[in-house]
């Protein structure tokens, strides 16, 4: 909680893609702990706190994606004219940063006042009950994976579930033998790269629809779109191959 408050209070000039990543990871850990504690996530002080975190998490994700994309475009060779797309991304980034600053101001109070009810719930957590809860969640996830439930349409959901369970295990100081942590971390990494590639592809499609591009710029964006589609396909295929090794 202190890490989230500290990160959210940093000056925007000091925010890098890693800063936004750290902020999102801290929020994921808090959400995992809340699930572990059994605290009501919809009402009271905890509900207000989680609502504030959810908004901050989503906005930080938008900015981090744009920052990474701008960094990639900036590294293209001079022969590839992506200046209009780069300007488009910079304009989008400025808008999202303004939204982030406004959001921080609006939820400042909720972030500073960590709910007392959550802290009390954490002190009452029972190790055996927590282990039983985690085992149940992992069995349910493994059953869905075996049934073929996870596919291209909802692979991102698998990544979110694996990360949530991993953070919950670490918070509780437990290690479950039914899930292979190295495989889980690798598939999570591959799915993250797949998701990033899909985001870039979507931005390229929107840019081509909205911008007045010359012929060279059009060819450049077409090339980049094909490139990121191939990357997305590669990471998705790798994820599919890794899935059977995650659950034992």
Q: Can you tell me the mean pLDDT for 202-230?
A: 88
> What is the separation, in whole angstroms, between the first and last Cα of the chain?
34
pLDDT grade for 128, boundaries at 50, 70 and 90: confident
Token pair, residue 156, equals 């991102």
Q: From the centroid of its chain, how far is CA 42?
A: 21
Over 90: is that where the pLDDT of 243 sits?
Answer: no
Average pLDDT value for residue range 97-120: 75
The span from the CA of 150 to the CA of 162, in Å, is: 12
The chain-wide mean pLDDT, for the chain, equals 80
Instruction: Answer whether residue 83 shows pLDDT above 70.
Output: yes
User: Which residues touch 29 (CB under 8 Å, ≥6 apart)?
Assistant: 167, 170, 171
Percent of the chain with pLDDT over 90: 9
Q: How many CB atoms lie within 10 A of CB 9?
A: 11
Does residue 113 or residue 209 have the better pLDDT? 209
Are 221 and 202 within 8 A, CB to CB? no
Q: What average pLDDT does this structure show over 156-172? A: 77
Helix (H), strand (E) at residue 144 = helix 127-146
C-alpha span between 80 and 19 (Å, rounded):
30
Residue ranges covered by each domain of the chain: 1-125, 126-248
Query: Would you place residue 21 in the very low, low, confident or very high pLDDT band (cuts 50, 70, 90)?
Result: confident
CB neighbour class for 172 (10 Å; exposed up to 12, middle 13-18, buried from 19): middle
Which of 129-138, 211-220, 222-231 bottoms out in mean pLDDT, i.e. has the lowest? Answer: 129-138
Which tops the pLDDT comparison, 185 or 38?
185
* Spatial CA neighbour of 210 closest among 69, 58, 87: 87
Mean pLDDT of 61-71: 88
Half-sphere exposure for 108 (CA within 13 Å, toward CB): 7
For the chain, the maximum distance between any two Cα atoms, rounded to a whole number of angstroms, is 65
pLDDT in tens, 70-79: 888 888 887 7
Where would I find the beta strands (DSSP E) of 86-155? none
φ, ψ for residue 43, nearest 5 deg: -125, 170
Residue 233, pLDDT score: 92
């Amino acid at each position: 909680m202190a890490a989230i408050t500290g990160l959210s209070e940093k000056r925007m000039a000091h925010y890098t893609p890693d800063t936004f990543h750290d902020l999102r990871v801290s929020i994921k850990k808090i959400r995992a702990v809340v699930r572990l504690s059994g605290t009501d996530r919809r009402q009271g002080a905890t509900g207000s706190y989680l609502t504030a975190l959810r908004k901050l998490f989503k906005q930080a994700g938008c900015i981090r994606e744009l920052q990474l994309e701008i960094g990639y475009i900036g590294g293209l060779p001079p022969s590839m004219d992506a200046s209009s797309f780069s300007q488009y991304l910079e304009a989008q980034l400025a808008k999202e940063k303004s939204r982030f600053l406004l959001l921080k101001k609006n939820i400042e109070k909720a972030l500073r006042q960590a709910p007392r009810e959550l802290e009390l719930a954490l002190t009452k957590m029972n190790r055996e009950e927590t282990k039983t809860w985690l085992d149940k969640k992992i069995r349910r996830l493994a059953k869905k994976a075996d049934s073929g439930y996870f596919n291209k349409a909802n692979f991102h959901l698998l990544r979110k579930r694996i990360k949530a369970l991993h953070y919950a295990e670490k918070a509780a100081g437990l290690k479950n033998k039914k899930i292979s942590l190295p495989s889980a971390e690798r598939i999570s990494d591959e799915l993250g790269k797949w998701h990033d590639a899909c985001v870039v592809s979507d931005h390229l499609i929107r840019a081509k629809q909205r911008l007045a591009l010359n012929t060279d710029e059009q060819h450049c964006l077409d090339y980049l779109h094909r490139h990121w589609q191939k990357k997305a396909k590669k990471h998705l295929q790798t994820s599919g191959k890794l899935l059977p090794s995650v659950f034992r």
